Amino acid sequence: MVCNILADFRLYLHLIAMQLRAQLQYKLNVLIDIVTYLSVTCLEFVPVLIFFGPFPSLLGWTVGEVAMLYAITSMSFGLAELFGAGIDAFDETIRRGEFDRVLLRPVGPFMQVVSSEFRLRRLGRITQGLLVFIFALSLLPGLNWTALKLAVLPIAIVSGALVFIAILLLGATLCFWTIQTTELTNILTYGGREMLSYPLTIYNQGLQRFFLFVVPLAFGTYIPICYLLGRPLPFGLPVEIAFAAPLVALAFALIAGATWRFGVRHYQSTGS
C-alpha cells in the first residue's frame, strides 16, 4: 500500500512537470495570466482597507489585524486553488465522459483527478496573500513574536488549504450524481474564503458553529490568527487549539475521501 502511494506521488510529480512544461512554452501568456489574477485578487483586498476609512474598527479588530486574517485565508485558499485545480475541473471530466478512461488506468482515480490540472495563474492569489501579509506586518509593529507564534502560521496555511481541497473533493463527488450544481461548492470555497477573511465573531452563532465544527475552515484561519494576536476564542475554546488544526483538517479530509470512494463505487454500479 505504501509502495503504491509513493509510486502515485512520483507519478503526480511527473504529470505536473509535464503540464508545467507545456504551459511554460508560452511564458508571456503565463505571466499575463498571473499578473491579471494578482491584480484581481489585490482589488478584492482594497475594500478591506477602504472599510477602515469611515469606520474605526470591525468589532474591535483593527485594520492590521483584519489584514493579517485576510492574508492567511488568502494563502490557504491560493494553495488549495493551485493543487486542487484538477478536482475543481472534475465536472468537465464527467461531462466529457472521460472518467471511464480514468478507471482503465493502473492508478488510483483520485491521483489522476488531482494531477489532471495545474494552473500557474493560481500563483497570483498566493502572491496577493504574501503581499497582504507583509502589509499587515507593517501595520502591527507591536506584535511580539515567539517561536510558537511563528510556527502556527505555516500550520494554519496548510491546514486551511487541506480543508479547502477537501471541500473541492466533496463538490467533485457530487458530480457523480449531477453536474448542474457545481456552483454549490463555490459557496463553500469562494464564500468560505470571503467569510473567513473577516473575524468569525461578527457572524451569528449558527454560522460560527458551522465553520468550526462542520466544515472546519476556521481552524486553519481564524483560530491560529487569534492565537497570534492573543485574542480569545468563541465558545470558551482554549487558544492553544490552533495547533490541533492539522488533525482536524485531516479528519475532515478523510471524510471527504471516504465520500469520494463512495462516489466512485456509485459510478461503477450505474455507468454514468
Partner 1 sequence: MEAMIEAEGLSKTFRVARRRPGLLGGLRSVVDPQVRIVHAVRDLSLHIERGEMIGLVGPNGAGKSTTIKMLTGILVPTGGRVRVAGLDPMRQRRELASRIGVVFGQRSQLWWDLPLIDSLRLLRHLYRVPEKRHSDNLARLRNMLDLDEFLDTPVRQLSLGQRMRGDLAAALLHDPELLYLDEPTIGLDVVAKARIREFLLAINAGQGVTVLLTTHDMDDVETLCPRMLIIDHGRKLYDGGVTEIRERFGGERMLIAVLDPVEIAAIPHDAQDQPVLSDLPEGVHQVQAEAPRIWLAFSRDSLPVHELVAWLGARYRLRDVTFQEPEIEDVIRRIYEEGLLLGRDEVSVQVS
Partner 2 sequence: MWRVAGFLCWENGKNEMLRFYFEVARTAYRRQLIYRWANLAGLLTNIFFGVIFSYVMIALFQARPVAAGYNVQDALRYIWLMQAMVMVVLTFGWYDLMLTIRSGEVVSDLSKPCDFYWYWFSREIGRSAYFLLFRGLPTYLAGMLLFGLGVPGDLRLWLAYAASLPLAAMLGIAYRFLFNIVAFWVLEARALGGLATAIALFFAGSYIPLPFFPPWLRAIATWLPFNGLMNVPAQIFLGKLTGIALLFGLGLQVLWVVLLTLGVRLLTSVAARRVIVQGG
Which residues contact partner 1 (rule: CB under 8 A)?
7, 10-11, 14-15, 18, 22, 97-98, 100-101, 103-108, 265, 268-271
* DSSP per-residue letters across 89-135: THHHHHHTT-HHHHHTSSS-HHHHHHTS---GGGHHHHHHHHHHHHH
205 scored as a contact of partner 2 (CB under 8 A): no
Strand partners, 58: 61
* Comparison of 202 and 255: residue with beta carbon closer to partner 2: 202
Cβ at position 207, least distance to partner 2 in Å = 8
Residues 138, 199, 185, 257, Cα dihedral to 10°: 90
Q: How far is the CB of 238 from partner 2 (least distance, A)?
A: 24
For residues 212 and 245, the answer to whether their CB atoms sit within 8 Å is: no
Q: Answer yes or no: are the C-beta atoms of 249 and 159 closer than 8 Å.
A: yes
| Residue nearer to partner 1 on the CB measure, 95 or 238 | 95
Helix (H) or strand (E) holding 37: helix 27-51
Residue 55, classed as helix, strand or coil, is coil
Residue of 121, 153, 170, 226 that binds partner 2 (CB under 8 A) = 121
138 sits near partner 2 (criterion: CB under 8 A): no
| Subset of residues 170 to 199 that bind partner 2, contact rule: CB under 8 A | 178, 180-184, 186-187, 190-191, 194-195, 198-199
The nearest distance, CB 55 to partner 2, in angstroms, is 4
